[in-house]
Structure 1
Amino acid sequence: MYKLIKALKNKGLKTENLKQEIRLFLVAVQFLTRLPMPALNNYQPLWLQQSAKYFPLTGLLIGGLTALVFAVLFWLINPWVAAIGSTAFSIRLTGAFHEDGLADSCDGLGGSFTREGALNIMKDSRLGTYGTLGLVMALALKVSLLASLSLPLAVVALVLAHGFSRFFSILLLSFLPYAGDLEHAKAKPMAQSLDKRQAAFALLTLVPSLLLPWLVLGSLPLGSLLLAWLLMLFTTSYMARLLNRRLGGYTGDGLGATQQLAELAFYLTFAALAGGQF
Protein backbone atom coordinates (compact mmCIF):
# COMPACT_ATOMS: atom_id res chain seq x y z
CA MET A 1 0.00 0.00 0.00
CA TYR A 2 2.85 2.38 0.88
CA LYS A 3 4.48 1.78 -2.51
CA LEU A 4 1.18 2.40 -4.27
CA ILE A 5 0.66 5.72 -2.43
CA LYS A 6 4.24 6.75 -3.17
CA ALA A 7 3.83 5.88 -6.85
CA LEU A 8 0.62 7.93 -7.05
CA LYS A 9 2.33 10.90 -5.40
CA ASN A 10 5.26 10.68 -7.81
CA LYS A 11 2.86 10.50 -10.74
CA GLY A 12 1.00 13.54 -9.42
CA LEU A 13 4.26 15.48 -9.06
CA LYS A 14 5.32 14.57 -12.60
CA THR A 15 1.94 15.66 -13.95
CA GLU A 16 2.15 18.98 -12.12
CA ASN A 17 5.72 19.51 -13.32
CA LEU A 18 4.60 18.90 -16.90
CA LYS A 19 1.74 21.37 -16.50
CA GLN A 20 4.16 23.96 -15.14
CA GLU A 21 6.52 23.50 -18.10
CA ILE A 22 3.59 23.99 -20.47
CA ARG A 23 2.69 27.17 -18.59
CA LEU A 24 6.25 28.45 -18.95
CA PHE A 25 6.20 27.76 -22.69
CA LEU A 26 2.92 29.67 -23.01
CA VAL A 27 4.46 32.56 -21.06
CA ALA A 28 7.40 32.60 -23.49
CA VAL A 29 5.07 32.64 -26.49
CA GLN A 30 2.95 35.38 -24.91
CA PHE A 31 6.03 37.48 -24.13
CA LEU A 32 7.72 37.18 -27.53
CA THR A 33 4.73 37.18 -29.88
CA ARG A 34 1.30 38.67 -30.44
CA LEU A 35 -0.28 35.23 -30.77
CA PRO A 36 -3.45 34.82 -28.67
CA MET A 37 -2.73 32.73 -25.59
CA PRO A 38 -5.07 31.25 -22.98
CA ALA A 39 -5.28 33.05 -19.65
CA LEU A 40 -2.86 31.70 -17.04
CA ASN A 41 -4.35 31.26 -13.60
CA ASN A 42 -2.32 32.34 -10.57
CA TYR A 43 0.35 33.94 -12.76
CA GLN A 44 3.60 34.74 -10.98
CA PRO A 45 6.17 37.26 -12.31
CA LEU A 46 8.97 34.75 -11.72
CA TRP A 47 7.51 32.61 -14.49
CA LEU A 48 8.78 35.11 -17.05
CA GLN A 49 12.38 34.60 -15.98
CA GLN A 50 11.89 30.83 -15.87
CA SER A 51 10.29 30.87 -19.33
CA ALA A 52 13.49 32.18 -20.95
CA LYS A 53 14.59 28.60 -21.53
CA TYR A 54 11.68 28.31 -23.98
CA PHE A 55 12.62 31.43 -25.98
CA PRO A 56 14.53 29.37 -28.60
CA LEU A 57 11.61 26.97 -28.97
CA THR A 58 9.31 29.96 -29.40
CA GLY A 59 11.76 31.21 -32.00
CA LEU A 60 11.28 27.98 -33.95
CA LEU A 61 7.54 28.61 -33.87
CA ILE A 62 8.04 32.16 -35.16
CA GLY A 63 10.45 30.93 -37.81
CA GLY A 64 8.08 28.18 -38.92
CA LEU A 65 5.16 30.57 -39.39
CA THR A 66 7.41 33.07 -41.17
CA ALA A 67 8.77 30.34 -43.45
CA LEU A 68 5.22 29.33 -44.34
CA VAL A 69 4.43 32.90 -45.42
CA PHE A 70 7.69 33.02 -47.39
CA ALA A 71 6.89 29.75 -49.18
CA VAL A 72 3.38 30.87 -50.17
CA LEU A 73 4.54 34.24 -51.52
CA PHE A 74 7.55 32.64 -53.24
CA TRP A 75 5.28 30.19 -55.02
CA LEU A 76 2.59 32.74 -55.89
CA ILE A 77 4.75 35.73 -56.87
CA ASN A 78 8.57 35.92 -56.60
CA PRO A 79 11.49 35.73 -54.11
CA TRP A 80 11.62 39.49 -53.43
CA VAL A 81 7.96 39.71 -52.52
CA ALA A 82 8.40 36.58 -50.40
CA ALA A 83 11.37 38.12 -48.56
CA ILE A 84 9.63 41.43 -47.93
CA GLY A 85 6.27 39.88 -47.06
CA SER A 86 7.68 37.29 -44.66
CA THR A 87 9.86 39.90 -42.95
CA ALA A 88 6.84 42.16 -42.51
CA PHE A 89 4.87 39.20 -41.16
CA SER A 90 7.56 38.35 -38.60
CA ILE A 91 7.60 41.97 -37.44
CA ARG A 92 3.83 41.93 -37.02
CA LEU A 93 3.96 38.55 -35.31
CA THR A 94 6.47 39.72 -32.70
CA GLY A 95 5.27 43.31 -32.44
CA ALA A 96 8.72 44.50 -33.65
CA PHE A 97 9.96 43.37 -30.23
CA HIS A 98 13.58 42.71 -31.20
CA GLU A 99 13.71 45.35 -33.94
CA ASP A 100 12.80 47.94 -31.32
CA GLY A 101 15.71 46.73 -29.19
CA LEU A 102 18.09 47.03 -32.14
CA ALA A 103 16.95 50.57 -32.91
CA ASP A 104 17.17 51.69 -29.27
CA SER A 105 20.62 50.12 -28.91
CA CYS A 106 21.88 51.93 -32.00
CA ASP A 107 20.50 55.21 -30.67
CA GLY A 108 21.93 54.73 -27.19
CA LEU A 109 25.36 53.38 -28.07
CA GLY A 110 25.75 55.74 -31.02
CA GLY A 111 24.35 58.83 -29.36
CA SER A 112 26.37 58.92 -26.15
CA PHE A 113 29.82 57.93 -24.96
CA THR A 114 28.79 57.66 -21.31
CA ARG A 115 26.90 54.80 -19.67
CA GLU A 116 24.29 57.06 -18.11
CA GLY A 117 23.73 58.96 -21.33
CA ALA A 118 23.36 55.80 -23.39
CA LEU A 119 20.87 54.27 -20.94
CA ASN A 120 18.81 57.46 -20.87
CA ILE A 121 18.65 57.56 -24.67
CA MET A 122 17.63 53.91 -24.80
CA LYS A 123 14.74 54.64 -22.43
CA ASP A 124 13.45 57.35 -24.78
CA SER A 125 10.59 56.07 -26.93
CA ARG A 126 11.51 58.42 -29.78
CA LEU A 127 13.55 57.05 -32.68
CA GLY A 128 16.78 58.86 -33.49
CA THR A 129 19.11 58.98 -36.47
CA TYR A 130 21.31 56.08 -35.37
CA GLY A 131 18.30 53.91 -34.62
CA THR A 132 16.65 54.71 -37.95
CA LEU A 133 19.80 53.97 -39.93
CA GLY A 134 20.53 50.78 -38.02
CA LEU A 135 17.00 49.45 -38.40
CA VAL A 136 16.74 50.32 -42.12
CA MET A 137 20.12 48.75 -42.88
CA ALA A 138 19.30 45.59 -40.91
CA LEU A 139 15.93 45.13 -42.61
CA ALA A 140 17.37 45.84 -46.07
CA LEU A 141 20.14 43.30 -45.50
CA LYS A 142 17.70 40.71 -44.18
CA VAL A 143 15.37 41.05 -47.16
CA SER A 144 18.27 40.95 -49.64
CA LEU A 145 19.79 37.84 -48.12
CA LEU A 146 16.47 35.97 -47.99
CA ALA A 147 15.65 36.92 -51.57
CA SER A 148 18.98 35.46 -52.71
CA LEU A 149 18.15 31.99 -51.34
CA SER A 150 16.25 29.21 -53.03
CA LEU A 151 12.90 28.27 -51.50
CA PRO A 152 14.18 25.17 -49.62
CA LEU A 153 17.20 27.06 -48.26
CA ALA A 154 15.10 30.03 -47.19
CA VAL A 155 12.66 27.78 -45.32
CA VAL A 156 15.49 26.06 -43.44
CA ALA A 157 17.27 29.36 -42.78
CA LEU A 158 14.19 31.11 -41.42
CA VAL A 159 13.29 28.36 -38.98
CA LEU A 160 16.80 27.73 -37.69
CA ALA A 161 17.85 31.38 -37.62
CA HIS A 162 14.85 32.44 -35.54
CA GLY A 163 15.38 29.59 -33.09
CA PHE A 164 19.16 29.71 -32.66
CA SER A 165 19.38 33.52 -32.62
CA ARG A 166 17.14 33.56 -29.57
CA PHE A 167 19.32 30.95 -27.90
CA PHE A 168 22.46 32.98 -28.48
CA SER A 169 20.79 36.18 -27.24
CA ILE A 170 19.69 34.65 -23.93
CA LEU A 171 23.27 33.53 -23.31
CA LEU A 172 23.88 37.12 -22.27
CA LEU A 173 21.57 36.46 -19.33
CA SER A 174 24.03 33.80 -18.14
CA PHE A 175 27.28 35.69 -18.59
CA LEU A 176 26.50 39.37 -18.02
CA PRO A 177 24.92 41.33 -15.16
CA TYR A 178 21.88 43.51 -15.75
CA ALA A 179 22.99 47.03 -16.60
CA GLY A 180 19.73 48.96 -16.43
CA ASP A 181 17.74 50.42 -13.57
CA LEU A 182 16.20 47.41 -11.86
CA GLU A 183 13.51 49.49 -10.17
CA HIS A 184 12.26 50.81 -13.50
CA ALA A 185 12.85 47.73 -15.63
CA LYS A 186 9.91 46.96 -17.93
CA ALA A 187 10.21 43.26 -17.14
CA LYS A 188 12.00 42.87 -13.80
CA PRO A 189 12.17 39.05 -13.91
CA MET A 190 14.18 39.32 -17.15
CA ALA A 191 16.70 41.45 -15.25
CA GLN A 192 17.78 38.31 -13.39
CA SER A 193 20.49 35.92 -14.53
CA LEU A 194 19.74 32.72 -16.41
CA ASP A 195 20.87 29.52 -14.76
CA LYS A 196 23.41 27.53 -16.80
CA ARG A 197 21.12 24.50 -16.61
CA GLN A 198 18.31 26.56 -18.12
CA ALA A 199 20.64 27.59 -20.94
CA ALA A 200 21.53 23.94 -21.56
CA PHE A 201 17.84 23.02 -21.61
CA ALA A 202 17.18 25.84 -24.09
CA LEU A 203 19.81 24.39 -26.42
CA LEU A 204 18.31 20.92 -26.15
CA THR A 205 14.92 22.23 -27.30
CA LEU A 206 16.58 23.13 -30.61
CA VAL A 207 18.01 19.68 -31.33
CA PRO A 208 14.85 18.31 -33.04
CA SER A 209 14.97 21.25 -35.48
CA LEU A 210 18.06 19.69 -37.05
CA LEU A 211 15.71 17.20 -38.68
CA LEU A 212 14.36 20.02 -40.85
CA PRO A 213 17.34 20.13 -43.27
CA TRP A 214 16.93 16.38 -43.79
CA LEU A 215 13.24 16.80 -44.57
CA VAL A 216 13.61 19.85 -46.82
CA LEU A 217 17.08 19.49 -48.35
CA GLY A 218 17.51 15.73 -48.12
CA SER A 219 20.74 16.12 -46.14
CA LEU A 220 22.27 17.85 -43.14
CA PRO A 221 24.72 20.55 -44.30
CA LEU A 222 26.73 20.24 -41.11
CA GLY A 223 29.69 22.26 -42.33
CA SER A 224 27.52 25.21 -43.30
CA LEU A 225 25.56 24.99 -40.04
CA LEU A 226 28.78 24.98 -38.03
CA LEU A 227 29.99 28.08 -39.86
CA ALA A 228 26.65 29.77 -39.25
CA TRP A 229 26.76 28.93 -35.55
CA LEU A 230 30.35 30.14 -35.28
CA LEU A 231 29.43 33.45 -36.89
CA MET A 232 26.43 33.75 -34.56
CA LEU A 233 28.69 32.99 -31.60
CA PHE A 234 31.20 35.59 -32.77
CA THR A 235 28.41 38.15 -33.16
CA THR A 236 27.05 37.35 -29.69
CA SER A 237 30.53 37.54 -28.18
CA TYR A 238 31.09 40.93 -29.81
CA MET A 239 27.78 42.22 -28.46
CA ALA A 240 28.56 40.86 -25.00
CA ARG A 241 31.90 42.68 -24.92
CA LEU A 242 30.37 45.87 -26.32
CA LEU A 243 27.46 45.94 -23.87
CA ASN A 244 29.71 45.08 -20.94
CA ARG A 245 32.23 47.77 -21.85
CA ARG A 246 29.74 50.51 -22.67
CA LEU A 247 26.89 49.75 -20.27
CA GLY A 248 28.35 47.39 -17.67
CA GLY A 249 26.07 44.51 -18.70
CA TYR A 250 23.01 43.68 -20.76
CA THR A 251 19.68 45.44 -21.13
CA GLY A 252 16.44 44.29 -22.75
CA ASP A 253 17.29 46.41 -25.80
CA GLY A 254 20.73 44.80 -25.93
CA LEU A 255 19.15 41.34 -25.98
CA GLY A 256 16.94 42.38 -28.87
CA ALA A 257 19.86 43.81 -30.80
CA THR A 258 21.89 40.65 -30.23
CA GLN A 259 19.04 38.49 -31.51
CA GLN A 260 18.68 40.57 -34.67
CA LEU A 261 22.40 40.52 -35.44
CA ALA A 262 22.70 36.79 -34.75
CA GLU A 263 19.75 36.14 -37.07
CA LEU A 264 21.43 38.19 -39.80
CA ALA A 265 24.65 36.26 -39.27
CA PHE A 266 22.84 33.00 -39.99
CA TYR A 267 21.28 34.34 -43.22
CA LEU A 268 24.61 35.80 -44.28
CA THR A 269 26.36 32.45 -43.91
CA PHE A 270 23.70 30.56 -45.84
CA ALA A 271 23.66 33.16 -48.63
CA ALA A 272 27.47 33.20 -48.89
CA LEU A 273 27.75 29.39 -49.03
CA ALA A 274 24.66 28.68 -51.11
CA GLY A 275 26.59 28.45 -54.36
CA GLY A 276 29.10 25.85 -53.29
CA GLN A 277 27.78 24.06 -50.24
CA PHE A 278 24.19 23.15 -51.04
Structure 2
Amino acid sequence: MPSQHRESSARRAVAHPVRSLLTALGFLSIIPITTRDGDERGEFAAALFYFPLVGLLLGGLAAVFFLVLQPILPPLVVGALLAVLLSLLSGFIHLDGLADSADGFFSGTPRERCLEIMRDSRIGVMGSAAICSLLVIKVAALASIDGGQMIVALLVAATGGRVGIVCMMALLPYARSGSGLGLLFYGGATRQAAVVSILLLAVLVLVSAGHRFMPIFTAAAALLLLLAALCRKKIGGATGDTLGATCEMMEATILIVFSMTL
Protein backbone atom coordinates (compact mmCIF):
# COMPACT_ATOMS: atom_id res chain seq x y z
CA MET A 1 0.00 0.00 0.00
CA PRO A 2 1.51 3.37 -0.99
CA SER A 3 2.63 5.57 1.88
CA GLN A 4 0.37 8.37 0.62
CA HIS A 5 -2.70 6.18 1.11
CA ARG A 6 -1.49 5.13 4.56
CA GLU A 7 -1.11 8.77 5.59
CA SER A 8 -4.50 9.72 4.17
CA SER A 9 -6.20 7.03 6.26
CA ALA A 10 -4.63 8.51 9.40
CA ARG A 11 -5.73 12.00 8.39
CA ARG A 12 -9.22 10.76 7.66
CA ALA A 13 -9.41 9.13 11.10
CA VAL A 14 -8.58 12.48 12.71
CA ALA A 15 -10.73 14.61 10.41
CA HIS A 16 -13.82 12.37 10.60
CA PRO A 17 -13.71 10.68 14.02
CA VAL A 18 -17.43 10.00 14.34
CA ARG A 19 -17.71 8.48 10.87
CA SER A 20 -14.60 6.36 11.40
CA LEU A 21 -15.79 5.18 14.81
CA LEU A 22 -19.23 4.26 13.45
CA THR A 23 -17.65 2.35 10.58
CA ALA A 24 -15.55 0.36 13.03
CA LEU A 25 -18.54 -0.21 15.30
CA GLY A 26 -20.72 -1.37 12.42
CA PHE A 27 -18.14 -3.91 11.32
CA LEU A 28 -17.00 -5.21 14.70
CA SER A 29 -20.37 -5.49 16.42
CA ILE A 30 -23.97 -6.51 15.92
CA ILE A 31 -25.05 -2.92 16.56
CA PRO A 32 -26.78 -1.73 13.35
CA ILE A 33 -24.89 1.28 12.02
CA THR A 34 -25.62 3.23 8.84
CA THR A 35 -22.85 5.41 7.41
CA ARG A 36 -22.78 7.70 4.41
CA ASP A 37 -21.63 6.29 1.10
CA GLY A 38 -18.08 7.15 0.17
CA ASP A 39 -14.65 5.71 -0.42
CA GLU A 40 -15.22 2.28 1.13
CA ARG A 41 -11.55 1.32 1.26
CA GLY A 42 -10.64 4.67 2.78
CA GLU A 43 -13.44 4.52 5.35
CA PHE A 44 -12.42 1.07 6.55
CA ALA A 45 -8.74 2.01 6.66
CA ALA A 46 -9.49 5.03 8.85
CA ALA A 47 -11.80 2.94 11.05
CA LEU A 48 -8.84 0.80 12.06
CA PHE A 49 -7.68 3.55 14.42
CA TYR A 50 -10.94 3.22 16.37
CA PHE A 51 -10.90 -0.54 16.93
CA PRO A 52 -9.74 -0.16 20.57
CA LEU A 53 -12.63 2.20 21.35
CA VAL A 54 -15.10 -0.29 19.91
CA GLY A 55 -13.59 -2.95 22.14
CA LEU A 56 -13.96 -0.64 25.13
CA LEU A 57 -17.63 -0.07 24.29
CA LEU A 58 -18.33 -3.80 23.90
CA GLY A 59 -16.54 -4.48 27.16
CA GLY A 60 -18.70 -1.84 28.79
CA LEU A 61 -21.86 -3.53 27.54
CA ALA A 62 -20.63 -6.84 28.94
CA ALA A 63 -19.90 -5.08 32.25
CA VAL A 64 -23.48 -3.82 32.46
CA PHE A 65 -24.68 -7.36 31.82
CA PHE A 66 -22.43 -8.57 34.65
CA LEU A 67 -23.82 -6.01 37.09
CA VAL A 68 -27.34 -7.23 36.35
CA LEU A 69 -26.55 -10.94 36.67
CA GLN A 70 -24.05 -11.01 39.53
CA PRO A 71 -26.58 -10.61 42.37
CA ILE A 72 -28.85 -13.42 41.18
CA LEU A 73 -26.63 -16.10 39.59
CA PRO A 74 -23.61 -18.14 40.72
CA PRO A 75 -20.16 -17.21 39.32
CA LEU A 76 -19.93 -20.18 36.95
CA VAL A 77 -23.24 -19.38 35.27
CA VAL A 78 -22.34 -15.69 35.04
CA GLY A 79 -18.98 -16.64 33.52
CA ALA A 80 -20.64 -18.85 30.92
CA LEU A 81 -23.13 -16.16 29.93
CA LEU A 82 -20.40 -13.51 29.72
CA ALA A 83 -18.22 -15.75 27.55
CA VAL A 84 -21.07 -16.20 25.09
CA LEU A 85 -22.00 -12.51 25.24
CA LEU A 86 -18.46 -11.35 24.42
CA SER A 87 -18.59 -13.32 21.18
CA LEU A 88 -22.25 -12.53 20.49
CA LEU A 89 -21.64 -8.77 20.61
CA SER A 90 -19.33 -9.20 17.62
CA GLY A 91 -21.79 -11.38 15.77
CA PHE A 92 -19.56 -14.41 16.39
CA ILE A 93 -17.32 -13.32 13.48
CA HIS A 94 -14.15 -13.64 15.55
CA LEU A 95 -15.16 -17.05 16.87
CA ASP A 96 -15.87 -18.13 13.29
CA GLY A 97 -12.41 -16.90 12.32
CA LEU A 98 -10.88 -18.99 15.10
CA ALA A 99 -12.67 -22.09 13.82
CA ASP A 100 -11.66 -21.50 10.21
CA SER A 101 -8.05 -20.84 11.22
CA ALA A 102 -7.89 -24.04 13.26
CA ASP A 103 -9.33 -26.08 10.40
CA GLY A 104 -6.79 -24.67 7.96
CA PHE A 105 -3.69 -24.61 10.14
CA PHE A 106 -4.16 -28.14 11.47
CA SER A 107 -5.02 -29.63 8.08
CA GLY A 108 -1.37 -30.36 7.29
CA THR A 109 -1.81 -29.07 3.74
CA PRO A 110 0.22 -26.60 1.63
CA ARG A 111 -0.44 -22.85 1.81
CA GLU A 112 -2.97 -22.55 -1.02
CA ARG A 113 -5.00 -25.52 0.16
CA CYS A 114 -4.88 -24.19 3.72
CA LEU A 115 -6.36 -20.89 2.53
CA GLU A 116 -9.09 -22.77 0.64
CA ILE A 117 -10.02 -24.72 3.76
CA MET A 118 -10.18 -21.52 5.78
CA ARG A 119 -12.59 -20.01 3.25
CA ASP A 120 -14.91 -23.04 3.46
CA SER A 121 -18.05 -22.10 5.41
CA ARG A 122 -18.24 -25.56 6.98
CA ILE A 123 -16.59 -26.10 10.36
CA GLY A 124 -14.45 -29.21 10.80
CA VAL A 125 -13.33 -31.17 13.83
CA MET A 126 -10.40 -28.89 14.58
CA GLY A 127 -12.57 -25.80 14.28
CA SER A 128 -15.18 -27.24 16.62
CA ALA A 129 -12.49 -28.25 19.11
CA ALA A 130 -10.98 -24.76 18.98
CA ILE A 131 -14.32 -23.09 19.70
CA CYS A 132 -15.12 -25.44 22.57
CA SER A 133 -11.63 -25.11 24.06
CA LEU A 134 -11.66 -21.33 23.90
CA LEU A 135 -15.12 -21.03 25.45
CA VAL A 136 -14.18 -23.43 28.26
CA ILE A 137 -11.06 -21.37 28.99
CA LYS A 138 -13.03 -18.12 28.97
CA VAL A 139 -15.75 -19.51 31.23
CA ALA A 140 -13.19 -20.86 33.70
CA ALA A 141 -11.26 -17.58 33.73
CA LEU A 142 -14.37 -15.41 34.09
CA ALA A 143 -15.76 -17.59 36.88
CA SER A 144 -12.43 -17.26 38.73
CA ILE A 145 -12.11 -13.47 38.53
CA ASP A 146 -12.93 -11.60 41.71
CA GLY A 147 -16.20 -9.72 41.43
CA GLY A 148 -14.51 -6.43 42.23
CA GLN A 149 -12.15 -6.87 39.29
CA MET A 150 -14.67 -8.18 36.76
CA ILE A 151 -15.66 -4.85 35.21
CA VAL A 152 -12.03 -3.86 34.67
CA ALA A 153 -11.25 -7.33 33.30
CA LEU A 154 -14.06 -7.12 30.75
CA LEU A 155 -13.04 -3.64 29.62
CA VAL A 156 -9.36 -4.53 29.25
CA ALA A 157 -9.99 -7.92 27.60
CA ALA A 158 -12.43 -6.58 25.01
CA THR A 159 -10.17 -3.63 24.23
CA GLY A 160 -7.08 -5.83 24.12
CA GLY A 161 -8.71 -8.19 21.65
CA ARG A 162 -9.25 -5.38 19.13
CA VAL A 163 -5.77 -3.97 19.77
CA GLY A 164 -4.49 -7.44 18.92
CA ILE A 165 -6.16 -7.21 15.51
CA VAL A 166 -4.49 -3.88 14.74
CA CYS A 167 -1.07 -5.08 15.88
CA MET A 168 -1.31 -8.29 13.88
CA MET A 169 -2.16 -6.30 10.76
CA ALA A 170 0.90 -4.14 11.35
CA LEU A 171 3.09 -7.23 11.82
CA LEU A 172 1.93 -9.25 8.81
CA PRO A 173 1.02 -8.64 5.16
CA TYR A 174 -2.33 -9.75 3.80
CA ALA A 175 -2.09 -13.42 2.83
CA ARG A 176 -4.73 -13.62 0.12
CA SER A 177 -4.18 -12.28 -3.38
CA GLY A 178 -6.44 -9.25 -3.78
CA SER A 179 -9.58 -10.59 -2.14
CA GLY A 180 -11.13 -11.06 1.26
CA LEU A 181 -12.93 -8.89 3.78
CA GLY A 182 -9.80 -8.30 5.84
CA LEU A 183 -8.15 -6.54 2.90
CA LEU A 184 -10.52 -3.58 3.32
CA PHE A 185 -8.69 -2.54 6.47
CA TYR A 186 -5.15 -2.92 5.24
CA GLY A 187 -4.92 0.66 4.03
CA GLY A 188 -4.80 1.66 7.68
CA ALA A 189 -2.59 -1.14 8.97
CA THR A 190 0.27 1.21 9.74
CA ARG A 191 2.68 1.65 12.60
CA GLN A 192 0.63 4.71 13.51
CA ALA A 193 -2.52 2.65 14.06
CA ALA A 194 -0.64 0.05 16.08
CA VAL A 195 1.12 2.64 18.24
CA VAL A 196 -2.13 4.52 18.93
CA SER A 197 -3.90 1.28 19.83
CA ILE A 198 -1.13 0.09 22.16
CA LEU A 199 -0.99 3.46 23.90
CA LEU A 200 -4.75 3.45 24.48
CA LEU A 201 -4.59 -0.04 25.96
CA ALA A 202 -1.59 0.91 28.10
CA VAL A 203 -3.41 3.92 29.54
CA LEU A 204 -6.50 1.82 30.26
CA VAL A 205 -4.48 -0.86 32.07
CA LEU A 206 -2.34 1.62 34.02
CA VAL A 207 -5.38 3.58 35.20
CA SER A 208 -7.59 0.61 36.06
CA ALA A 209 -5.22 -2.26 36.91
CA GLY A 210 -1.70 -0.89 37.16
CA HIS A 211 -0.28 -3.84 39.12
CA ARG A 212 -1.23 -6.16 36.25
CA PHE A 213 0.41 -4.03 33.56
CA MET A 214 3.54 -6.14 33.08
CA PRO A 215 1.77 -9.53 33.21
CA ILE A 216 -0.86 -8.38 30.71
CA PHE A 217 1.56 -6.85 28.24
CA THR A 218 4.07 -9.69 28.56
CA ALA A 219 1.40 -12.31 27.90
CA ALA A 220 -0.14 -10.26 25.07
CA ALA A 221 3.21 -9.69 23.36
CA ALA A 222 4.14 -13.37 23.64
CA LEU A 223 0.80 -14.40 22.14
CA LEU A 224 1.08 -11.91 19.27
CA LEU A 225 4.62 -12.96 18.36
CA LEU A 226 3.70 -16.64 18.51
CA LEU A 227 0.59 -16.20 16.37
CA ALA A 228 2.43 -13.97 13.89
CA ALA A 229 5.17 -16.57 13.48
CA LEU A 230 2.60 -19.33 13.01
CA CYS A 231 0.60 -17.34 10.45
CA ARG A 232 3.73 -16.43 8.51
CA LYS A 233 4.82 -20.06 8.43
CA LYS A 234 1.43 -21.50 7.47
CA ILE A 235 0.00 -18.95 5.02
CA GLY A 236 2.60 -16.21 4.64
CA GLY A 237 0.58 -13.50 6.35
CA ALA A 238 -2.80 -12.73 7.89
CA THR A 239 -6.42 -13.07 6.78
CA GLY A 240 -9.71 -11.95 8.26
CA ASP A 241 -9.98 -15.37 9.89
CA THR A 242 -6.60 -15.20 11.62
CA LEU A 243 -7.35 -11.66 12.78
CA GLY A 244 -10.59 -12.88 14.34
CA ALA A 245 -8.73 -15.75 15.98
CA THR A 246 -6.22 -13.26 17.35
CA CYS A 247 -9.01 -11.22 18.93
CA GLU A 248 -10.57 -14.23 20.64
CA MET A 249 -7.26 -15.60 21.90
CA MET A 250 -6.14 -12.19 23.13
CA GLU A 251 -9.36 -11.80 25.12
CA ALA A 252 -8.88 -15.24 26.67
CA THR A 253 -5.24 -14.52 27.53
CA ILE A 254 -6.06 -11.25 29.29
CA LEU A 255 -8.92 -12.88 31.20
CA ILE A 256 -6.53 -15.59 32.38
CA VAL A 257 -4.14 -12.93 33.68
CA PHE A 258 -6.99 -11.31 35.60
CA SER A 259 -7.94 -14.68 37.10
CA MET A 260 -4.43 -15.04 38.54
CA THR A 261 -3.70 -14.04 42.12
CA LEU A 262 -1.20 -11.19 41.82
Structure-2-length-normalised TM-score: 0.89
Q: Name the CA distance, whole Å, in 2 between partners of 1:38 and 1:20.
A: 15
Task: Provide the secondary structure at the position in 2 that maps to 1:249.
Answer: coil
Q: Name the CA distance, whole Å, in 1 between partners of 2:257 and 2:196.
A: 26
Q: Name the CA distance, whole Å, in 1 between partners of 2:207 and 2:34.
A: 29
Q: Name the CA distance, whole Å, in 2 between partners of 1:171 and 1:76.
A: 38
Using the TM superposition, name which of 85-94 and 261-270 deviates more: 85-94
Q: Higher Cα Rg: structure 1 or 2?
A: 1
Correspondences of 1:234-253 after superposition (within 5 Å) = 234-253=222-241
Q: Name the CA distance, whole Å, in 2 between partners of 1:191 and 1:155.
A: 32
The amino acid of 2:125's aligned partner reads T
In the TM superposition, residue 41 of structure 1 has moved relative to its aligned partner by 4.3
Correspondence for 1:117: 113
Q: 1:39 to 1:193 in 2, by over 3 A?
A: closer
Correspondences of 1:138-153 after superposition (within 5 Å) = 138-153=134-149
Cα pair 1:232 1:266 within 8 Å, conserved: yes
Is the counterpart of residue 30 in structure 1 residue 26 in structure 2? yes
Correspondence for 1:9: none
Q: Name the CA distance, whole Å, in 2 between partners of 1:78 and 1:251.
A: 38
Cα pair 1:102 1:260 within 8 Å, conserved: yes
Q: Name the CA distance, whole Å, in 1 between partners of 2:30 and 2:62.
A: 14
In the TM superposition, residue 190 of structure 1 has moved relative to its aligned partner by 2.4
In the TM superposition, residue 209 of structure 1 has moved relative to its aligned partner by 2.9
Report how many residues are paired: 251
The amino acid of 1:249's aligned partner reads G
Correspondence for 1:173: 169
Cα pair 2:168 2:228 within 8 Å, conserved: yes
Task: Provide the secondary structure at the position in 2 that maps to 1:127.
Answer: coil
Q: 1:50 to 1:18 in 2, by over 3 A?
A: closer
In the TM superposition, residue 235 of structure 1 has moved relative to its aligned partner by 0.5
The amino acid of 2:32's aligned partner reads P
Greater relative CO (CA pairs within 8 A, separation 6+): 2
Correspondence for 2:190: 195
Is the counterpart of residue 162 in structure 1 residue 158 in structure 2? yes
Cα pair 2:13 2:46 within 8 Å, conserved: no
Q: Name the CA distance, whole Å, in 2 between partners of 1:173 and 1:24.
A: 18
Cα pair 2:99 2:127 within 8 Å, conserved: yes
Cα pair 2:24 2:51 within 8 Å, conserved: yes
Correspondence for 1:225: 213
Correspondence for 1:13: none
Structure-1-length-normalised TM-score: 0.84
Is the counterpart of residue 62 in structure 1 residue 58 in structure 2? yes
Q: Name the CA distance, whole Å, in 1 between partners of 2:122 and 2:200.
A: 36
Deviations 1:107-155 (A, max 9, x none): 0001133111110100000000000001100001101110011212121
Indicate which of 78, 84, 90 corresponds to 1:82. 78
Q: Name the CA distance, whole Å, in 2 between partners of 1:231 and 1:17.
A: 29
The amino acid of 1:32's aligned partner reads L
The amino acid of 1:149's aligned partner reads I
Cα pair 2:24 2:50 within 8 Å, conserved: yes
Is the counterpart of residue 108 in structure 1 residue 104 in structure 2? yes
Q: 1:243 to 1:193 in 2, by over 3 A?
A: farther
Task: Provide the secondary structure at the position in 1 that maps to 2:70.
Answer: helix
Q: Name the CA distance, whole Å, in 2 between partners of 1:105 and 1:17.
A: 30
Indicate which of 226, 244, 262 corresponds to 1:256. 244
Correspondences of 1:29-48 after superposition (within 5 Å) = 29-42=25-38, 44-48=40-44
CA root-mean-square deviation: 2.0
Q: Name the CA distance, whole Å, in 2 between partners of 1:27 and 1:140.
A: 31
